[in-house]
Amino acid sequence: MNAFIIPLCLWCVCGLYVHCQSPPNVVFILADDMGFHDVGYHGSEIKTPVLDRLSAAGVRLENYYVQPLCTPSRNQLLTGRYQIHTGMQHQIIWPCQPYCVPLEEKLLPELMVEAGYSTHMVGKWHLGMYRKECLPTRRGFQSFFGYWTGSEDYYTHMRCSFIAPLNVTRCALDLRDGEETAQMYNKLYSTELFTHQAVNIILNHNIQKPLFLYLALQAVHAPLQVPEHYTEPYSFIKDPPRRHYAGMVSAMDEAVGNITRALQDAGIWNNTILIFSTGPGHASRAEQEMQDSLMKDSLRRNSLRTGSVSAPRFNVSMHAAIRYKNWKLLTGYPGERVGGVADETPPLKQVMLFDIDADPQERNEISHKHPEIVSFLLKRLEQLQEGAQPVNFPPDDPRCDPQPTVAHDHPAQAQKDANQDRKTRSANNFQLQT
Ligand SMILES: *[C@@H]1O[C@H](CO)[C@@H](O)[C@H](O)[C@H]1NC(C)=O
Ligand SMILES: *[C@@H]1O[C@H](CO)[C@@H](O)[C@H](O)[C@H]1NC(C)=O
Ligand SMILES: *[C@@H]1O[C@H](CO)[C@@H](O)[C@H](O)[C@H]1NC(C)=O
Ligand SMILES: *[C@@H]1O[C@H](CO)[C@@H](O)[C@H](O)[C@H]1NC(C)=O
């Protein structure tokens, strides 16, 4: 994955032999759906001068894993726990599903508040929103500017979603300032908008307190949208989606540059740990179509097999991956078949083993050569599965309905809004449901 840390003042070093005046500021920038090879220093045709330069002066993490989907990956980052321990292992939270990261989990920003930090979040939440208790503002972030669902238009900040029990597709604004719908930002490109918000937080930060800023950029998730000037350097890329994607990565790289400049301007760069990572890796075609969401139902049906079923042996039709030393074992069919899209790849095996030291790209499947390793790792998966929480993946709650013209929100608010003249409402929320 793409990640690096700029440790200008390491905690451990502070604790051991340097007398640090104050704890370091922590700025965590999370990209979305960015591929391993889509960063300059991994040899990409996409130019990322800022990431290249920063990471060259920091620590590059070249061998760690994130989850393949947004919700489980963010769940891990903020709870410090695998998604099998929070019931979030199945898939993502769709706008009308009434669940969130379990409320008994203490999230990273709550711990940072206890450690004396000012905590701020800008960007994508995607850890649930059906009750106020689930919101970032109730789970440790003292300020929030961004969106609660998983994807939306980069300019209008509208999210369209099919609500199965109502058999309708609704589009609604999903941009929030704190807990309020933010209506003033139409046509502002989210990479620039979120960077601007993050820069303001940094410049207005009271340096008496350490800062924790979590900037979860929308970039470079689908849809592939970017102002034209960012794609101009990529006219040599003939495939239009790839060209747009390259432009989005460049905009994101510029965003990281602006954040670091703000940290310098604020005089806190020399006491800041900057971490950059991607949430999930590069989206496959199937994932991108999933994000378009209209095929949601067929997809859900297809992916139910990822659900946990308690069985005496590990059920290899489940998606799982495990590393041990140089070995990596994968189970479950590795692709997603989305309705209507023909899958051109030949059928793959349900259990695959790779020696990733010798074969880092996982091209040479060798389970037949090492049955004892396979059986050892399946046994390990079985043990892990025994400790797993049941999958939490409830059906849509129709009370989320934002109504034809208006944002994804909560019932008390929904009731209040319903009493207002609809025509005076310029934006709808997908509604909070309790
Ligand atoms: C859902 O709505 C579509 C058109 O909007 C209609 O064709 C279809 O029959 C409806 N399905 C059900 C189950 O009501
Ligand atoms: C970075 O800052 C420059 C100068 O303020 C601005 O023009 C540009 O839009 C910013 N880029 C992003 C991605 O926010
Ligand atoms: C950071 O820079 C400021 C101002 O230049 C200085 O007062 C402070 O001691 C520096 N802190 C560290 C940890 O180097
Ligand atoms: C394994 O999981 C699949 C998909 O969920 C299910 O159809 C099958 O019955 C399971 N097999 C066993 C032995 O539990």
pLDDT tens column, 237-257: 999 999 999 999 999 999 999
The atom of ligand 3 lying closest to the CA of 9 is 13
Smallest-distance ligand from the CA of 294: 1
Comparison of pLDDT for 257 and 434, the residue scoring more: 257
Q: Using alpha carbons only, how large is the chain's radius of gyration in Å?
A: 22
Concerning whether 9 is annotated as a catalytic residue, the answer is: no
Distance CA(55)–CA(42), nearest Å, equals: 11
The mean pLDDT of 294-304, rounded to a whole number, is: 28
Residues 6+ apart with CB under 8 A from 200: none
Strand ranges (DSSP E) for 138-279? 143-147, 158-163, 168-173, 176-177, 180-181, 211-216, 272-278
Question: Do 183 and 158 belong to one domain?
Answer: yes
pLDDT band at 21 (very low <50, low <70, confident <90, very high): low
Question: Do 185 and 105 belong to one domain?
Answer: yes
Atom 14, ligand 2: residue with shortest CA distance: 192
| Pocket-testing residue among 48, 189, 192, 265, ligand 2, by greatest number of atoms within 8 A of Cβ | 192
Give domain status of residue 328, yes or no: yes
Question: Do 213 and 351 belong to one domain?
Answer: no
Atom 1, ligand 2: residue with shortest CA distance: 258
pLDDT value at 276 more than 70? yes
Question: Do 195 and 285 belong to one domain?
Answer: yes
For 374, phi then psi, to 5°, come to -60, -45
* Contact assessment for residue 256 and residue 191, using Cβ atoms and an 8 Å cutoff: no
Lining ligand 3 with CB less than 6 A are 9, 267, 270-271
Domain endpoint, select from 299, 333, 364: 299
Smallest-distance ligand from the CA of 22: 3
Question: Do 104 and 218 belong to one domain?
Answer: yes
Specify the amino acid at residue 372: E
pLDDT value at 289 more than 70? no
**Number of independent structural domains in the chain:** 2
Instruction: Supply the pLDDT for residue 404.
Output: 78
C-alpha 365 to ligand 4 mean position (Å): 24
Atom 3, ligand 2: residue with shortest CA distance: 258
The atom of ligand 4 lying closest to the CA of 306 is 5
Smallest-distance ligand from the CA of 9: 3
Provide the whole-model pTM: 0.85
Question: Do 123 and 75 belong to one domain?
Answer: yes
Instruction: Supply the pLDDT for residue 7.
Output: 52
Q: Is 309 in the pocket of ligand 4 (CB under 6 A)?
A: yes
Q: Pick from 63, 414, 47: which is nearest to 230 by CA? A: 47
pLDDT value at 26 more than 50? yes
Give domain status of residue 89, yes or no: yes
**Segment (H or E) for 31:** strand 25-31
Q: Is 305 in the pocket of ligand 4 (CB under 6 A)?
A: yes
Instruction: Supply the pLDDT for residue 65.
Output: 86
Q: Say which of 85, 90, 120, 126 is annotated catalytic.
A: 126
Domain span at residue 336 reads: 310-386
Q: What is the pLDDT of residues 101-124, one digit of tens each?
A: 999 999 999 999 999 999 999 999
The mean pLDDT of 192-214, rounded to a whole number, is: 97
Concerning whether 221 is annotated as a catalytic residue, the answer is: no
